[in-house]
Amino acid sequence: MGRKYDLVVFGATGVTGEYVVEEISRLTSTPGYKTAPFTWAVAGRSERKLLESLRSVSELTGIDVSQVDKIVADVSDTESLRQMASQAKVVLNVVGPFWFFGESVVKACIAEGTHHVDLSGELPFTEKIHALYHEEARAKNVHIVGPCGYGSVPADCGVAYLQEKFEGGEVNSVVSYGTMSSTGTEKSSMFHYSTWQSIINALANTSLVNEYHKKMYTKPLPEPKHRQESKFPLHYSKEVDGWCMPYPGADPAVVHRSQYFSFHERKQRPVQYAAYMKYPNLLVCFGISLILIVAMLFSQLKFTRKLLLKYPKLFSLGIISKESPTRAQLEQIKFSFTAIASGWKEKLTEATDEHVEAPNKKLKLVITGTNPGYRSAAIILIQTALTILQEKDKLPALGGVYTPGYAFAKTTLVTRLNSRGLVHESNVQLSHKILLENVDRFPNPRKQPNKVGNVDNYSAYSTAVCYCRQILLT
């Protein structure tokens, strides 16, 4: 594919876009970091704003990127999008809300034979793109992969990684627990208002997901003999030492799609998956329930949806506001993602064969990092793009619209993320630290005492929005 640029960052003038540009600049100047040289450019609606963003990143990092090539492209101008896509091997799309602005970029990339990765955590968008464009992308041998940020990569690639590391055996189910906390003492919103806009718009279109699924899932998955242990929606988990609620956002749907393709195209046993979010305080859980009920109802009507967008602080009980957090505040957000796989020590011949005995092996994966919504998301996005660029032979043989867990299962993406996790800049952790450990035996469940503590604003927001989606889907 003879193109002028290996990577083009579309949306480089936005908050997330600047994080992506910053990470590329650090990546290309980090002593000892080994990667094949690559060419890159930035794209956006205004050349002036692109230059301002590049200068801002240069001042922040001390690395001069002001001379990086700039491409003017607008989501409302199809020809400009195609011209942008025609110059790139991979487009990194960070222009949201994706429901409104993402589809035209995907269409341009497919038309020009350009690979595409994005940060969308909007479930209606990700399912729509697969339902409508998978076959077209396959015919053009173009890989459209997403979501490729903190949303879904730890879960989806984490499940695939646990399957790979289940040496000699096979996984039956995976349960994950996400936790977030802030080391700062000053209360503030933990994300930018644009993220809230994306979530509300996604909620408004969640009813379409079932229609997309009818087009996507035309063949059944086998019914498992050994079903995953069901947990009460609100329960105490000693695995993460806290009260947990379901996290039914994009992660379970993304993992399910990966397992669907793995079974039907790779003849791999499908893994059952459940996701939860941890809270150390029961009172917070009840507050989240109130927020999500209001968000669920109000997002369905145009007038009330406008109220949600206009008064986020009121409807979120102070968790969300239009006042953007500072970079310093974002860097104080720490996250941990724990995934526990259960299965068998031995692997059967066929994916549909059933084990007689109950699962007898466990493996745990822990992923930790900083600033998940921006810095870690930028690192993940760039590494997925570089994986497509440099490991094309390890991707699915045919193009298509794929999840990260399926697309990158045979690549070195986890190793790439680990390599960035070892890098520290001014005592700020830039990416993930991934730990893998065996669990010797299955713990006996027992009632845990109530714990009282503080909950991070960002984690409260995340579960509220995602639980809302589940209510709309059921």
> What is the value of pTM for the model shown?
0.86
How many contiguous H segments (helices) and E segments (strands) does the chain have?
17, 16
Query: What does the pLDDT read at residue 432?
Result: 42
d(CA 166, CA 340): 11
Q: Would you say 382 and 24 are in contact if contact means Cβ atoms under 8 Å apart? A: yes
**What is the tens place of the pLDDT at every residue in 420-434?**
873 322 222 223 455
Structure tokens at 323: 């006042």
Query: What does the pLDDT read at residue 188?
Result: 60
d(CA 336, CA 372): 10
**What's the gap between Cα 385 and its chain centre?**
14
Query: What does the pLDDT read at residue 190?
Result: 61
Structure tokens at 65: 């990127």
For 132, 134, 206, 261, 474, the CA distances from 216, given in Å and listed in that order, are 9, 9, 16, 10, 18
Q: Which domains does the chain have, with CATH numbers?
A: 5-145 (3.40.50.720), 153-376+424-473 (no CATH)
**What is the tens place of the pLDDT at every residue in 379-411?**
999 999 999 999 999 999 999 999 999 999 999
Query: What does the pLDDT read at residue 435?
Result: 59
Query: What does the pLDDT read at residue 460?
Result: 39
